Each structure stands twice: as structure tokens, then as C-alpha cells.
Structure 1
Amino acid sequence: MSQSARNSGSTAASALPTLMPGPYRKRLGVVALIATLGGLLFGYDTGVINGALGPMSAELGLTPLTEGLVTASLLLGAAIGAVTLGRVADAWGRRSTITLLSVLFFVGALTCVLAPNVEVMITGRFILGIAVGGASTVVPVFLAELAPYEIRGSLAGRNELAIVVGQLAAFVINAIIGVVWGEQEGVWRIMLSIQLVPALALFIGMFRMPESPRWLADNGHHEKALKVLSELRPAERAELELAQIEQIRNEEESEKLNWKSVLADKWLRRILLVGIGLGVAQQFTGINSIMYYGQEVLTESGFSKSAALIANIAPGMIAVVGGIIAVSIMDRFSRRKTFLIGFALTTTCHLLIGIASIVLPVGNPLRPFVILLLVVAFVGSMQTFLNVAVWVTLSEIFPLKMRAFGMGVSVFCLWMANFFLGLYFPSLIAAVSITGTFFVFALLGALSLLFVFKWVPETRGRTLEQLEEEVTTGTIFLPANLRAN
């Protein structure tokens, strides 16, 4: 990008009027509510297996291997969905792709509910995984591209909040159904069927949602982009923002950022590695192992199976509380500092869980309650300081021409890390117990802290176009005092 383009882009950003209250905020809220139904389904799908797996195993005759396959097939599908549906979103648009996701959620859920055997169940879970991976890639980008930069963090962060609400809903529904109809045949089918309702709501709702103005501008639809911005901004900002978006588009119109051109550019290559590193580091905290196998962890710590099913609601509740706090601070607090605090806290929790499992041996009446408390502290730290911040950062750090590619590759690596943890976590617990497992997570957390400190730049407080300028020129990686100069 030329120096004149950088200067004009910065001037356009600085000339934007202050964001004032207005009716556009209500419209943004409605758009976010509908779009994040994808996140809600994402959360429900990843959380419902926590309570459904036991009765499903008994009825379908699952072995430990096929239990792992049922759980991990969703994660493998998510990895594929993340890397492919981002490209679909570039071709079809964000709104059309999210509509497609709603169909995949519905078909996948119905396949699982009606599954007569393990093969059909794995197929249904794989379809759901494609939808989950697509939602994890497309929905945050859709929200980030719609939001004014001043509130981009809190608006895009609502998707992660919807995910943990979906997981909590799965835990609560599992507990209620398990307690009331626990001995009834096919109880797991009831647990899985609940998600059909939000999938249908997402399909209907997306027909009334606008397309991303950045996608419209990038595809030459000037008038449509202006119309969308006029609905979602104060009137005096819409044309100025569109001018800023199109300035970047016009300067880079000749650039086709395929994977070869991304890898050939040292700054684009570096930001891609940052995205991949953040996604993998998030998963190596072990958060989703708790969400998938929380009941088994609590059972191993000393709870009975029925007590563990109920106690498992506590991490889900603190996840929602943490998500609400995270969304409320996202527009005011440094992303980079949030990561550093988050990895420091989760690593400390891992160490304490490992130590507690040594100091309080099996049979000690305090053991299950202390480990539950520490697990709740870990989940709360994770949701408050890491999960929302990671998804928001991934949605904003990549230039428009590589956003689908960068987000897709980063989230593919995230889901592959999730897949291997989901597949091997029960074996890890069996081999080295809670003690060894959480000490491994503590080591990975320490490495993640080092990665953030040395590699991850600050992204808060800039428009997507300003971030694009700083990434493509490498200035985003400079210390703040040098970047200001």
C-alpha cells in the first residue's frame, strides 16, 4: 500500500464524527441477537454431549473408541467448516453463508436425533461440526464488519457470550432431563432435539438481516453498502466510513491475496502466525475438555455421577458471568493485557488443581469440592479474559483481502487442537490422572504467556481499515511509542 493511501486512510478515520447514541444502536442489537443464534447453537452442540453421552452409549452400545469418535467427529467437522466456509462467505456474502449454516445445524441435529446406530450419529455430528466451524469463522467477522470501531469489541464479543449461554443451556437442560427422565429410553434424543428450535429461528431471522457493508463495498455494491451503513450508523458517519472502506479497496484492488501471496509477505505471514497461535493457545488451556468431559472430571475427583451432572452446571454458570464481564470491558481494556492476565490466571488454576489432587487424595471428603471450586475459577478466568478476547481479535486482525483466509486457517488450527484434545483427553486422564493432566496444561499455559508477550500486538481502538494499514506495513508490531511516531 502506498504512503498516500496510508495517510488518506488515517485521515478518514480521524475525521469520523464521535459515535453518539441513536436508533442505529437498537438495529445493531437486533442484528447481533439474530446472528449470534449461530453462537448459541455452537455452544449447545459442544455442551450437550457432556450429559447425553452416557445414556447414548448405553443405547447405541458405544465403546470408549466410538465415544471418542462421536465427540471428536463434531470437532473434525468444525475444522473443515472453519477453513472452507470462510471462503464461501467471501463468494456468497456473510448473510447468505450464515443462512446456509442454519440449514446445516437443522439437518445435522435432526440426523443425530433420529440416529439408529453409531455410524449415523457420527455422520450427524460431523454435519453439525461443519456448521459449528462455519459459525465460529463467519459470525464474528460478520459482527466485526458491521460494528462501529468504538464498540466493535463488545458487539463481536456477544458471539462468545452466546456460545457460553448455549453451553450453560445444554448443561441445565441435560441436568433437568437427566433427573426427571433419566431412566427413560432415548432420553439423549430429547437432549439433542432442543437445538432444532434456534436453528429454525436463525434461518428465518437472517432473511431480515443486512449484508456486511465491507463485503458489499469490496464487491462493488456501493449503494447497498451505503444503505446498510446508514441504518447502522449516525447519518453523518455513513458516507465517511464508506469512503474510508473504498479507499482501501481501490488501492488494493489489483492485489489478490491467495495463500501464496500471504505466505510471501512477511507481515501477512506474521499476522497469520499470530492468529494461529492465539487459536491454538486458547484450546491448549483445556477449556473445551472441561466443557465436553466436565462430568467425568468431577466424577474422577470424587462426586457421584448424579452429583457430578448437577455440579457441572456451576462451570457453565460462571462461564456466562465471565462472558458478560468480558463483553462489558472489551471496548475499554487492552486486548494484549487481557491475554496476559488471562493466561496467568488459567495457568495458576491449572497448577492449583494439580496440587490439590496430590494434597487431597481420593477418599478425602474435601477433594471433590476443592477441585470443583478451582475448576470454576479456571472457567471464570478463561471466559472473562481469554475466550471473548481471542474471538474478537481473530475477527479484526486480518486485512479484508485475506480476512476469510486468515480467519479460516486460524480457526481450522484452533479446531484441530480442539479435536485432538477432545479425542485424547479421556486417555490422558486415565494415563496420568487429574494431577498430571493439569500440570501439562500449566506448562502449555506458560508457553502461551511467552507467545503473547513476544508476538501478539494491540488491536483495540482502531478501525478495521487502520488495522489493515498497520498490518500490511508492519507498524502494528512496533512498540506503541514508536508506532505513534
Structure 2
Amino acid sequence: MGVLNVVEDRPTPPSVYNWRVYVLAAIASCGSCMIGYTSAFIGTTITLASFEDEFGFNKMSTDAVDTISENIVSFFIAGAFVGALLTYPIGYYLGRKWSLVVASAIFTLGGGLQLGANGNHGLGILYAGRVLSGLGTGVASNIIPIYISELAPPAIRGRLVGTYELGWQTGGLVGFWINYGIEKHMASSHTQWLIPFAVQLIPSGLLFIGALWIRESPRWLFSKGRRQVAMKNLCWIRQLDASEIYIIEEVAAIDQATEEQRSTVGLGFWKPFTAVASRPDTMKRLFFGCMLFFWQNGSGINAINYYSPTIFESIGVPADQIGVTTGIFGVVKCIMTIIWLLYLVDQLGRRKLLLIGGITGSVCMWVIGAYICIVEPQDHPRSSLNGGGIAAIFFFYLWTAVYTPTWNGTPWVVNSELFDPNIRSLAQAATTSNNWLWNFLVSRFTKQMFAAMGYGVYFFFAALSLGAFVFTFFLIPETKGVPLEAMDRLFKIKPVWNAHKQLMSQLHIDEEQFRVNIKGSGFTNQKSDQEQEHVENDLLSGISGVNNKPHM
């Protein structure tokens, strides 16, 4: 299968895969670009001599400097944790489009405050700005995958949600190399360290402008009873008329899901809370979603993102080469994200990627930890890497190349698909905030872990990566190409390693029955609103009659 081949759940008109759906995903992903940049630039910027001189780090103890560095990083993540929790009420009342507007506005305000920090005013305004930027990040990181997954055709949903990860890695790449450029080509000054802080306003500004233009999610509009606008947006996104059979099928599936929510959960703000608490299957999937982010952070990626100088120094990279080494790390991540986006996520699938990443990542971390244990490069510094050091760097970049298209972005894709529509917003808020919780713990204690554990940190990450493999093998089914409305059926099929194949076979049978119902309805391209509504109701009744029980 080629790079742009798709595996469809049903016959799909070519016009569905149009420029509009890609542009909407790209605009939303400006939010992940601002997140990626902010996550990448901060760890190196606060180690610049100009920043340290500005705030008097040279007069402090090493422990005090480490604490301030961790505060600068972790205050942002604490804000993101709170922002992710707030996304459910914001998204419920304002929708996806205006949630993105709010997220970008808060982030931009926080970024502006950070530019007011200097040696005279102290770090207080910088801390406040980091918290506000984190709030905006929490909302954006939650709502972007939801928005993209709700407008994406199933066959390219992974690819489109993957633009979220591509934006993240593009922002990270820029963040790593901006620091390298200003360190090499600018004199140490207030302006030198201020430039990286100012650049984060570019993606947030682009998101704010773009979010004012994008269309609201049709699924959210249907859930609010705004059918006329929902149909208009859906037809615009799909580039199809309302009378097209593909639109009729999609609307019927959405209506069925909405009716099921009305009858089983309810449509009020608090109804999903009650439903989640009373449904063991949903609680189990919520646990799965949270654990995916636990294993993701347990791999060590955010320790590297936030404290890359510390990581490379532990391997024995000379100080004058750390900037280049960090920049190459960003390049590898970005290249592998593009490969993941164009081919792997929708062709190889989510489950296989997670399994490959878990076992390979574990092996690489064991090798790196063993090298540091035996050679002790920090106790025996060298002006250049020896053969063993080069091998350790090779395994580090191998780990990066494998981790990026597996555990870096795939958990976000799976979590955007994992929950049936009636509780997706609430569940996504819970899992995303869980991600930021683990992220916070990593950012807050990484330096203490290296000080106390040394090479043991790499063995710790290796063991967790192995645990991620075992977790995925026994508990996570394949979700590629599965319609969002069918996820509940997927997780009822056992064993999980055969669930995807069984469900897709069932959906094919359902599709054939659906088309029989259409022929029986006498549908002949009626176009009046009254006739259209009559046909939709007939089709909804027909779908409800199809066996929705999974074959065990």
C-alpha cells in the first residue's frame, strides 16, 4: 500500500478527502506547535549565561538553581493540568472552535507577561506568565485532538490527528535550533534570552487568527440540536450535498449515537459524570487512556525535552557539542513524525506501533544505562566521545527514531478515538489532565532523580518501557479505521489482538444491511428539508434494527 492509500470502513466519495479537512486540521495544530515550541525551548534557554546572569544564578547554590529551573518548567505544566480539567465545561458550553480561541488568547497573554521579566522585577512575573501559558496549553492539548477526530473521515483520522503531533514536533524543532542559533551568533544580553520567549507568541497568534475562521465541529452542533448549522458545516467539510448517500449515512450514525446518549446517559452537563461512574466498561477504558499517558511519560521523553543538556551531559557529550546534539535530537523527532503521519499510523496501525516502541525503547535504554554505569563519563570527562560514547549516542538516536512514531504521538491518537461520543469530552479532559500530571512529576523531579540515581534513571525508564509493551499487548485493541460510534463494540470483543478484524467484518455486514434499507426506503435524491428529515428518520430506524452486538 502506498503512502497516501487509505483503508475505508465503507465506500467513500473522493471529494471527502479534500483540502478543507486538511486545512482545518493544520490550523488547529498551530496549537500543538505552540505547545511543542514552549516545551522545547525552555530547558536550554534557562541555561544560557545571559539568563543566569540576569537573575543571579551565579550567586546561588546548585540546589537553589535546580529548584528555580524546575519551578520555571513545572509551573507551566501545573497550569496545563488545570487547563485540561477546565476543557470539559469550556468545550461543553462554547464548543470546539471557541475553546481554541480561548486557549490561544490565554496562552498569548501568558507569553506576553513572560516578556516583562528582568533582573529588577525578579521571576514572579515569569512564573505568572508560565502558569497562564500552561492554562492555554491544557485547553488546547485537550480540544485539538477532539476537534480533529470529530471532523475527520475514519480512513484518514489517524493521519489528521497526527498533524497534532507533527505541529508539536515542528515547534520543538524550532525551539531547539533557535537556542543553538542565538547562543552561537548573539552576544550575551537581555535580548538574547528574551528572543526565545518572544517566538512562542507566533504560533499562538496564528492559532487565534485561524480559530476565528474555522468551522465548528458538526458533531458538537448536532449534540446541541443545531441541525441546520451542523448540516451546513458537515456538507462544507465533506464537499458533498446534503442529499448524498455518504452524508445521509454519517448523519444517521451521529443521530443514532445522540439518541443512544439521550436514552442511556442524558444530554445534561452532569450526566456524563454519572454515566462514567456507573459503567464499568467506560471506567476501564478511561483507565486505559490514563495509563497510555503514564507509560508515555515513563519512557523518559519529557525528561529529555525539558532537560536535554542534563541528559547529554550524563552520556558524556562535551559541553560545546550539547547544542548541536540537542538540535539533531529535534531533527530526528520531526523526520520520524512525518513518516509516522504519512504512513505508519494509518497503515501499520496504533497497536503494532505501541508494541514496537515499547520493546525497542526498553532495549535502547538498557544499553545507554549500562554504558554510563561502566564508563562513568561524568567522572571521566573527555574533549570528544570515544567509541563507547558514540555507540551510546547511536542508541539514544535509535531510541528517538523508534519512540517518536510509536509512544510519542500514538497515545494522543488512541485517546481521541477511545471513547464513544456521549462521554468523549469528559473522558478526554480526564486523560489529558492525567498526561499533564505525569508530565509535571517528571519535570519537577528529573534533576533530583539524576542526582540521586545516576545511570539508574535509564534503567528505570527501560523497565517502564517494557511494562508499556506488556500493557499494550494484553489490553489495547487496534482502533485504526473504526468509526467513532463503533468504539464501544470494539472493546467488547475478546481477545483484544483479534478484536479489530472481527469488528471490521461486522461493520461490513452492517453496511450491506444499511444499503438494503436505503433501497427499501425509495430514496431518490429528495432535496426538501421535510423530505430529507423523513428519509433520515427512516434510515435511523433501519440502522437501529441492525444487530449491534459483537460476535464473541
The TM-score with structure 2 as length reference comes to 0.81
The alignment covers a number of residue pairs equal to: 469
Aligned residue for 2:15, secondary structure, equals coil
> CA offsets, 1:201-224, max 9 Å, x none?
211111110111110111111121
Note if contact 1:19-1:150 (Cα within 8 Å) is conserved in structure 2: no
Summarize the alignment of residues 434-453 of structure 1 with structure 2, pairs less than 5 Å apart: 435-453=455-473
Please, which of 475, 482, 486 is the counterpart of residue 466 of structure 1? 486
Residues 475, 191 of structure 1: alpha-carbon distance in 2 compared, 3 angstrom cutoff = same
Please, which of 188, 209, 233 is the counterpart of residue 193 of structure 2? 188
Q: Distance in 2 between matches of 1:369 and 1:73?
A: 35
**Aligned residue in 2 for 1:411:** 432
Q: Distance in 1 between matches of 2:308 and 2:406?
A: 20
Q: Distance in 1 between matches of 2:346 and 2:13?
A: 15
**Aligned residue in 2 for 1:376:** 397
**Aligned residue in 1 for 2:134:** 129
For 1:285, give the aligned amino acid. S
Q: How far off its partner does 1:234 sit? A: 5.0
Aligned residue for 2:409, secondary structure, equals helix
Q: Distance in 2 between matches of 1:457 and 1:182?
A: 53
**Aligned residue in 1 for 2:181:** 176
> CA offsets, 1:2-44, max 9 Å, x none?
xxxxxxxxxxxxx986234337511111111111000100101
For 1:430, give the aligned amino acid. A
**Aligned residue in 2 for 1:197:** 202
Please, which of 38, 51, 70 is the counterpart of residue 68 of structure 1? 70
Q: Distance in 1 between matches of 2:248 and 2:233?
A: 11
Note if contact 1:353-1:438 (Cα within 8 Å) is conserved in structure 2: yes
Q: Distance in 2 between matches of 1:469 and 1:213?
A: 23
Please, which of 30, 41, 57 is the counterpart of residue 48 of structure 1? 41
Summarize the alignment of residues 61-460 of structure 1 with structure 2, pairs less than 5 Å apart: 61-62=56-57, 63-115=65-117, 116-235=121-240, 236=244, 237-254=246-263, 255-256=265-266, 257-328=271-342, 329-362=344-377, 363=380, 365-366=385-386, 367-433=388-454, 435-460=455-480
> CA offsets, 1:114-164, max 9 Å, x none?
123212111111111111221211101100001001100000111011101
Q: Distance in 1 between matches of 2:257 and 2:46?
A: 49
Aligned residue for 2:190, secondary structure, equals coil
Greater CA drift, 150-159 or 423-432: 423-432
For 2:213, give the aligned amino acid. R
For 1:221, give the aligned amino acid. R
Note if contact 2:43-2:73 (Cα within 8 Å) is conserved in structure 1: no
Residues 234, 462 of structure 1: alpha-carbon distance in 2 compared, 3 angstrom cutoff = farther
Q: How far off its partner does 1:322 sit? A: 1.2
Greater CA drift, 306-315 or 282-291: 306-315
Residues 87, 382 of structure 1: alpha-carbon distance in 2 compared, 3 angstrom cutoff = farther
Residues 178, 476 of structure 1: alpha-carbon distance in 2 compared, 3 angstrom cutoff = farther
Note if contact 1:20-1:234 (Cα within 8 Å) is conserved in structure 2: no
Note if contact 1:71-1:422 (Cα within 8 Å) is conserved in structure 2: yes
Please, which of 23, 27, 30 is the counterpart of residue 20 of structure 2? 27
CA RMSD of aligned residues (A): 2.0
Q: How far off its partner does 1:359 sit? A: 3.7
Query: Structure 1: 5+ residue runs without aligned partners?
Result: 1-14
Greater CA drift, 177-186 or 45-54: 177-186
> CA offsets, 1:207-259, max 9 Å, x none?
11011111011111112111121122252322321121011101221413433
**Aligned residue in 2 for 1:38:** 31
Q: How far off its partner does 1:46 sit? A: 0.5
**Aligned residue in 2 for 1:10:** none
Q: Distance in 2 between matches of 1:214 and 1:23?
A: 16
Note if contact 1:87-1:404 (Cα within 8 Å) is conserved in structure 2: no
Aligned residue for 1:398, secondary structure, equals coil
Q: How far off its partner does 1:339 sit? A: 0.8
**Aligned residue in 2 for 1:58:** 53
Residues 16, 305 of structure 1: alpha-carbon distance in 2 compared, 3 angstrom cutoff = closer
Note if contact 1:458-1:476 (Cα within 8 Å) is conserved in structure 2: no
Note if contact 2:114-2:197 (Cα within 8 Å) is conserved in structure 1: yes
Note if contact 1:400-1:468 (Cα within 8 Å) is conserved in structure 2: no
Q: How far off its partner does 1:368 sit? A: 4.4
**Identical columns (%):** 27
Note if contact 1:95-1:211 (Cα within 8 Å) is conserved in structure 2: yes
Q: How far off its partner does 1:280 sit? A: 0.9
Query: Structure 2: 5+ residue runs without aligned partners?
Result: 1-7, 58-64, 507-550
The TM-score with structure 1 as length reference comes to 0.92
Q: Distance in 2 between matches of 1:144 and 1:23?
A: 14
Greater CA drift, 374-383 or 133-142: 374-383
- Whose Rg is larger? 2
For 2:286, give the aligned amino acid. L
Residues 276, 347 of structure 1: alpha-carbon distance in 2 compared, 3 angstrom cutoff = same
Q: Distance in 2 between matches of 1:385 and 1:145?
A: 23
Q: Distance in 2 between matches of 1:379 and 1:317?
A: 10
Note if contact 1:16-1:241 (Cα within 8 Å) is conserved in structure 2: no
Residues 227, 310 of structure 1: alpha-carbon distance in 2 compared, 3 angstrom cutoff = same
Q: Which has the higher contact order (CA 8 A, sep 6+)?
A: 1
Note if contact 1:50-1:171 (Cα within 8 Å) is conserved in structure 2: no
Greater CA drift, 337-346 or 448-457: 448-457
For 2:347, give the aligned amino acid. R
Greater CA drift, 270-279 or 229-238: 229-238
